[in-house]
Structure 1
Amino acid sequence: MNITRRRGAIAFFITLGICLVGLAVALNVGWIILNVHQRHVMFLVLGICFFSVLIAGLILNTIFLVREVRRNERQDSFLNAVTHELKTPIASIRLYLETLQRRPLDDAQRQEFYTRMMEDNDRLLHTVEQVLRAGEANAKGVIRNAKARLPIDLRELASEALAETVRRHHLEPTQVRLEDRSPAAVYVSGNAQSLRTAILNVLDNAVKYSPGGVHITAELSVLRGNVAMLRITDKGVGIPPPQLKRVFHRFYRVGSRELSKIKGTGLGLFITRAIAREHGGDATAQSYGAGLGTTITLQLPLLSATAAAAQTQAPVAEIVS
């Protein structure tokens, strides 16, 4: 009902804006005809300027209004998604606890229940962390303190994120693989926890949006000798070209009747790009269309082995090895 009401509001204000613009154009044309006939050139020029400003104001007001309504729709969708993501694991944990309290279970069943509750707890914690990090990213404060940045082995970090994705989503190790195209160690400077979150967000999306089967490839390489690049490619549903830039907006999710059933808050890629930019890099998306998979690329400034050794006060040979 809320979505239908807002769509009606959008249609109403667009129609109102068009009518007002049409009225302004009609008045402008009438003013021109009247003043051309009476040869009042000064009034003619003033009338043209006045109505041009009026038309521009009406158009800008309509655009702003429509954007605000759509932003409110995205925020409502986000609140509904977050509510669902919070309630589902809480209800699951409560059910397991009630079962443990009311029924005698053998040790194997109890251990299985404990495992499920830990997974629900991790899911709950992940959702809370996403919301908190989105607030930090919106405030431009992911890693403000440069002194907190340390050398990070991007190869090791990507391997850990891939292993965690396999464990979290109960995948086979062959479904997720790392292709290392860099001849030497790849170090970047930053916050390891933030970068791990950025990579995990991309991997989580790759899993969620691959309903036909998960096949993820993470490719690590060095671009132009000074940029570390991690490309994560899946064979999922893909992204329509017009939506490639918008997927990094806060609360934005690819709109489709089929995809609306996929759980999520619309914050993952927003947080990923914010973290990448706070590290002096960027995140981009590439897809050839629906059903053709997606590639998310993280680019980060490369840290030389010498600089990494200086920051960690360790021998260069030890870091390279």
Structure 2
Amino acid sequence: MRRRKTAIFFLVLGISLSGLAIALNVGWILLNLREVVILVIGIIFFAAIITGLILNTIFLVREIRRSEKHDAFLNAVTHELKTPIASIKLYLETLRSRDVPEEKRAEFYDAMLADSDRLLKTVEQILEAGRLTEKRREFHITDVDIGGLIAEAAASTIASHKLDENTIKLSLPERSLYVSGDAEELRTAFTNLLDNAVKYSGDDRRISVRISTTAMGRRVAIVIRDNGIGIPSSELKRIFKRFHRVAGGELRAKGTGLGLFIVRSIIERHGGRIKADSRGTGHGSTFSIHLPLTEYEDTAN
């Protein structure tokens, strides 16, 4: 809060100085119309001062926004870490202090495992976001069967969320399609997208994944569509930014604001691109990913 007040003070100061500079320059010009050379020099200096003030104001506005995003991120991470830890502690204290029936004990164990998984995912996201900024990070590049990898990610998502097998419907190509990349990173990206599709959908979840080649046959297109709460049009281009979380009570869900940033970073690192589409709140979301295919393709069916 103190940092934000300081930034606002300097923002107001910059605007005030800009107004004062304009007033002084206009008055100075009116009094020195005959001094053409001095007038030109004055205009140049005036332009330099205004430019500096504008750049200063832009910098302060960006710092304010960045500070707000960092604060929101810290609050989200604190919640994501504290909540499962408190839940696990409560279950353990109950098990230690009371004689819990075996059925209830098994229920407690399942709840603690779920909280542990949530805690682990949060830590992994934070670590992954940090690793993506490392310039010398090592990659294990191989030819990855993208259809098989996405099928594994879908099976993992269904198992972790205890969903019906028909919740995620896959439409795979007739032959294997290979991309050159790090299999673990790509698995992380698609698992994050499928987790989001589950998390931002209601009880009647319907998620589809379609894999195909583009018209030229040089890229593979992966389209992930859900029937969830959707994304406002004003947020479509910002959801991939680090720490960004969609505003609005109905749209807020558990998370750190890093998931889609990690997805975009991984896809772009593999020479691909990702795009989000939605007809608005309540109309579901569609994520389209394009990745370059390798020259090797298995034509055996």
Q: TM-score, normalised by structure 2?
A: 0.90
- Among 179, 189, 205, the alignment partner of 2:171 is 179
Q: Which residue of 2 aligns with 1:18?
A: 15
Offset from partner CA, 1:21-78 (integer Å, 9 cap, x none): 2222222222222221xx1111111111111111111111111111111111111111
Q: 1:6 to 1:219 in 2, by over 3 A?
A: farther
- The CA distance in 2 between the partners of 1:304 and 1:268, in whole Å, is 31
- Among 121, 125, 134, the alignment partner of 1:130 is 125
- The CA distance in 2 between the partners of 1:157 and 1:33, in whole Å, is 73
- Among 191, 203, 212, the alignment partner of 1:200 is 191
- Could you tell me which runs of 5 or more consecutive residues in structure 2 were left unpaired when the two chains were aligned: none
- The CA distance in 1 between the partners of 2:192 and 2:84, in whole Å, is 19
Aligned AA (2:188): T
Residue aligned with 2:144, SS = strand
Aligned AA (2:63): E
Aligned AA (2:230): G
Per mean C-alpha deviation after superposition, the further-off stretch among 169-178 and 10-19 is: 10-19
- The CA distance in 1 between the partners of 2:83 and 2:45, in whole Å, is 57
Equivalent pairs, count = 300
Q: TM-score, normalised by structure 1?
A: 0.85
The two structures, once aligned, show a CA RMSD in angstroms of 2.3
Aligned AA (2:58): I
Aligned AA (1:206): A
Q: Which residue of 1 aligns with 2:182?
A: 191
- The CA distance in 1 between the partners of 2:12 and 2:280, in whole Å, is 32
Aligned AA (1:156): G
Q: Which residue of 2 aligns with 1:35?
A: 32
- Could you tell me which runs of 5 or more consecutive residues in structure 1 were left unpaired when the two chains were aligned: 307-315
Is 1:67 equivalent to 2:56 in the alignment?
A: no
Contact 2:220 2:293 in 1 (8 A): yes
**Superposed counterparts of 1:159-178, under 5 Å:** 159-178=151-170
* Structure 1 residue 213 displacement after superposition: 4.2
Q: Which residue of 1 aligns with 2:276?
A: 285
Is 1:209 equivalent to 2:206 in the alignment?
A: no
Offset from partner CA, 1:99-133 (integer Å, 9 cap, x none): 32233344433333222222211111111100000
Contact 2:4 2:67 in 1 (8 A): no
Aligned AA (2:104): Q
- The CA distance in 2 between the partners of 1:155 and 1:193, in whole Å, is 14
- The CA distance in 2 between the partners of 1:112 and 1:248, in whole Å, is 37
Aligned AA (1:158): I
Q: Which residue of 1 aligns with 2:97?
A: 102
* Structure 1 residue 87 displacement after superposition: 1.4
Q: 1:292 to 1:56 in 2, by over 3 A?
A: farther
- Among 140, 149, 158, the alignment partner of 2:150 is 158
Bigger helix fraction:
1
